[in-house]
Structure 1
Amino acid sequence: MAIRQKTLMRLAPWAVTLFILIMWEGMCVSFAVPEFLMPAPSAVFKAGLATAGPIFEHATQTFFTTLVGFALAVVVGLVVGAVVGSSPLVYKALYPMLVGFNSIPKVAFVPVLVVWFGIGTVPAILTAFLISFFPVVVNVATGLATLEPELEDVLRSLGASRLDILRKVGLPRAMPYFFASLKVAITLAFVGSVISETVASNLGIGYLMMSASSSMNMPLVFAGLIVIGAMGVVMYELFAALERRLTGWAHRGAGAAL
């Protein structure tokens, strides 16, 4: 029974995706929907094959800018989150500012970044960084801030310094929060890269989609959307696998076995 359940869990996403594609194709064909409004999956697939070379080139650029921005967000977010979460005073002082910063639409930063760095790769990297930075900070800070005071008192009575508590107990305790934030941050990083590429770039999936939409080539636009979605799913699953492997001690019950 357990093996059957695991098999169904693995096949369920593929079955749902196939069902959606079949329904999508059937509706476009049955209602004769114009291709420039809503292309059928078959038309999207043909457009993807016909422009596989350019799509790969633009997807590589988007993937590069996303990973660089995401890596910056992880490093900076981990450091800032550790500082914010380890001190109640710093937490109270900086948290409202971080929330306010995150409330600003990141697309509003793109024109500023273009003025500072010009169009191209740098604004895309920084936009990916800005949009994926907040989840890492919040989750790391939350993981550290929820450390039980009783546990800290016991460790101090045993001679542990503040740094010892942070390094040997606080950070390991925050790892489930940290890896959960990575799954959210990587998908947001793709959003940031594409936003910047649609506004201030001449390369990347965002630029490709804008160019295709200007000529009403909707199959190519949807092909770009699918490529972005596929890259996001792959990276999400990668970090989910790392989370299960490195923080398996924090997951109990049926969910840990999947």
Structure 2
Amino acid sequence: MRKPRRIGFNTGNCCRRSGSKSNSCERLSVQNKQYDLCQNVLSRLHTAGVLRHLVLIGSWCLVVYREYFRDVGVIHAVRTRDVDFLVPQTPKFHGKVDVPELLNDLGFITGFRGQHGVMMLEHPEVMIEFLVPEHSRGSDKPKDLPQFGVNAQALRFMDIALMMIIQLPFGAIPVNVPHPAAFALHKLLIVPRRTNAEKKQKDLDSAVQVLKLLDKKGELSIAQDLLAKFPKPWRKVILKTLTDNRQGAIAEQLT
């Protein structure tokens, strides 16, 4: 297997300077640590045969999409500690891998949050959670995934990510991610539900830049076709989110 390609950041010059550039250097150093750790996690899950049954979602998708869009532009990825994996309701995994044990020596500890004990794998650089689509409302209890030794929180609208899955490399590791069109439409649907202004803006910015890059790539029609399959109330929310945020031209292209 060829050596994984590392998407790194040049910190040599900024580390010799002070002030705001020194702070930038520290942020880049953290990003490098996060990237390396995430790649180690993905590598272990891949070797154990688990990764092909998971879908990477959330802001880390933007890192993976760089390869997809490299011929049309640069995608700006603002990463968080959160690394979220979506699990189909019936993963076709017939073995048993204790994921917390698999990642234990990387420094992950198992934590729980909420009344019903949603499991998290916590590390100073990264926090891993597992999610499943919510198909019946009214219960906050996580779904047990004994084949992976974890449980998963059920969330609404996660089915969107499963509508169109593609496989892209994270370094040399094949990773399942939602097609960028599905990623963007999902973000636009949840933007109005966000109560945190910073997260709301981040989701909006991520969705818009992905849609613009799809347009440059000549693939905005994929988003249009996906949107047409959504329930009418979802379509209205997505188009209104765009028009309310000065992206009426994109909204028109999607209709």
TM-score, reference length from structure 1: 0.22
Higher percent of residues as strand: 2
TM-score, reference length from structure 2: 0.22
Whose RCO is larger (CA < 8 A, sep 6+)?
A: 1
Decide which structure has the larger Cα Rg and report it.
1
Higher percent of residues as helix: 1
